[in-house]
Structure 1
Amino acid sequence: MQVAEASTPKPTLPDAQTVTSVRHWTDSLFSFRISRPASLRFRSGEFVMIGLPGDNGKPILRAYSIASPNWDDELEFYSIKVPDGPLTSRLQHIQPGDQVILRPKPVGTLVLDALLPGKRLWFLATGTGLAPFASLMRDPETFERYEQVVMMHTCRTADELTYGRELVENLKHDPLLGELYGADFAKRLLYYPTTTREDSPLMGRITDNLQSGKVNADLNLPPITPETDRAMICGSLAFNTDVKKVLEGFGLHEGANSEPREFVVEKAFVGDGV
């Protein structure tokens, strides 16, 4: 892994913020942090448009979920690297001190207010779809509203799970959450990482592990029901569609900011081709 950090010079481009650190997790995954405008307010789980100036002078912008919680002084993002992608082919080379364009108008469906009250909250993600949940897992309000949070994250290889695994391990020692929930916090946040191409302790697609009940058996959880369980989905369009069908099979219904229900789906996701 490569990590780079720098001080925060004043941005000079319109709508720009300064890169403060960059970390390359694998050959295809990296995260970075940028300065946060003093006026920016967002709900954990929302996304913003970020990008770089294009060759023709017009900015290349894509929707990125904010991976940092709403109380953080900086903004964190988690991204794939696409060699021929209009944005990430260049974004992957940013260094501390560089500038990126930020359109500070956060929106999104993966917010706590879009769900009805419940007992258990499931975060269901593949790849960099973990980003909004990285924000929500670090927000104390998530654990004020739910007795348990289950983070299911699936990638092809174990290395691709490193960002999420390290984040969850650090949360167990987080001073704020530890002060609020003490030793019980480890029981309140359940982490279930699986691989699909490389052998690992836990394997299989999220849809299969949900439908078979394997995840429930492994974590000693009761079956998913609309009375107790809520869920958020973030991944590719195909993944979102497949998981949505599974949740509907359990009797859950899709909600939105305007009509909270049992689960929500992120429709703006940075995937292949960015």
Structure 2
Amino acid sequence: MNIASAQTTVAQQTFPIPANVYAETVVSVKHYTDRLFSFRVTRPQTLRFRSGEFVMIGLPNAEKPVFRAYSVASPAWDDELEFFSIKVPDGPLTQHLQKIQPGDTILMRQKATGTLVLDALTPARRLFMISTGTGIAPFASLLRDPDTYEKFDEVFITHTCRDVAELAYGQELVASLTEDPLIGEFAAGRVTLYNSTTREESPRMGRITALIGSGKFYSDLGIAPLDPETDRVMICGSMHMLKDVKELVESLGFVEGSLASPASFVVERAFVG
């Protein structure tokens, strides 16, 4: 592979790797739109994480690399690590990260963390995963984790984006669950995807808070309204959505949980915009 310039293969090791940082190889890259892409990298043998957690990712293209939080989209049992990223033209990291190719190197700090984990929730019957944009990434991990189906009978995942094409990652993810050799039998008939768009015309339009607030969300799915007695909620996406959904579920009596004190909903604050 010709690694001639930082513009074409931006992740080549042009500077020494910082201490206590993994250097991993890009395995594959898939561009969904001019704003969204996913990529898979080799997994460090010593990395341990809970499905739903995030790691700090950077590139070896500066003496002091820029690191940003990225939820791991692959489950904890996967041999590789998958990520789902937005492309920000002038973003300190994503302006370069969006140009990575198989064989390039990415940097990863050695600790995974995050609040969007099953251990921060008490058991219940239904689990609602509320996401916008690349906020679906941690749910991609959790949907492929057998523990999710041990703890909940039904899983509802919402994904709201500006345009129809931006929904493809989530659609592919849910469609592939029943074919997964490890969790296919657990997920069959138990996962429901609920999409909406906010800009491009589509069969279902609107912000998820408006769809829930108006009752359309429940009527579309033919389900009972959110209830802290039977339901748990996980929220990941834009800061505006996080605030609105957090306020909505708290108004219904849901209590924010943590690893130290599991409860009825959790929010991921380390979201990459």
TM-score computed with the length of structure 1 as normaliser: 0.90
Counterpart in 2 of 1:62? 68
Mapped contact 2:42–2:79 kept (Cα < 8 A): yes
Aligned to 2:252: 250
Residue type matched to 1:47 in 2?
F
Give the aligned residue type for 2:31.
H
| Cα offset, 1:217, TM superposition | 1.2
CA distance in 2, matches of 1:120, 1:258: 22
Aligned match of 2:165 in 143, 159, 164? Answer: 159
Is it true that 1:22 corresponds to 2:29 in the alignment?
A: yes
Give aligned pairs, total: 255
Structure 1 runs (4+) greater than 6 angstroms displaced: none
Which residue number in structure 1 is paired with residue 11 of structure 2?
Answer: none
- Name the residue aligned to 2:56: 49
TM-fit CA distance, 1:215: 1.4
Partner of 2:209: 207
2: CA distance between counterparts of 1:93 and 1:80?
A: 12
Match of 1:3 in 2: none
For residues 233 and 191 of structure 1, the distance between their equivalents in structure 2, rounded to whole angstroms, comes to 15
* Match in the other structure for 2:137: 131
Instruction: Give runs of aligned pairs for residues 1-274 of structure 1, distance below 5 A.
Output: 13=17, 15-55=22-62, 57-180=63-186, 185-186=188-189, 188-271=190-273
Q: Specify the code of the residue in structure 1 equivalent to 2:50.
A: R
* RMSD, aligned CA: 1.2
Q: Distance in 1 between matches of 2:26 and 2:69?
A: 17
Q: CA deviation at 1:53?
A: 2.8
Q: Once the two structures are aligned, what percentage of the paired residues are identical?
A: 60
Q: Deviations over 1:42-73 (max 9, x none)?
A: 10000000111343x01110010000000100
TM superposition shift of 1:27? 0.4
Alignment match, 2:10: none
1:254 maps to a residue whose letter is E
Deviations 1:22-43 (A, max 9, x none): 0001001000000001111110
For residue 177 of structure 1, report the CA deviation from its aligned partner.
Answer: 2.3
Deviation string 1:223-260 (CA, Å, 9 cap, x unpaired) is 11110010000012211111101111211111111111
Gaps of 5+ in 2: 1-15
Q: TM-score, normalised by structure 2?
A: 0.91
- 3-state SS of paired residue (1:64): strand
User: What amino acid maps onto 1:243 in structure 2?
Assistant: V
Equivalent-residue separation in structure 1 for 2:143 and 2:262 (angstroms): 20
Distance 1:171 1:180 in 2: 9
Mean Cα deviation higher: 25-34 or 208-217: 208-217
Structure 1 residues 179 and 235, CA gap change in structure 2 (3 angstroms): closer
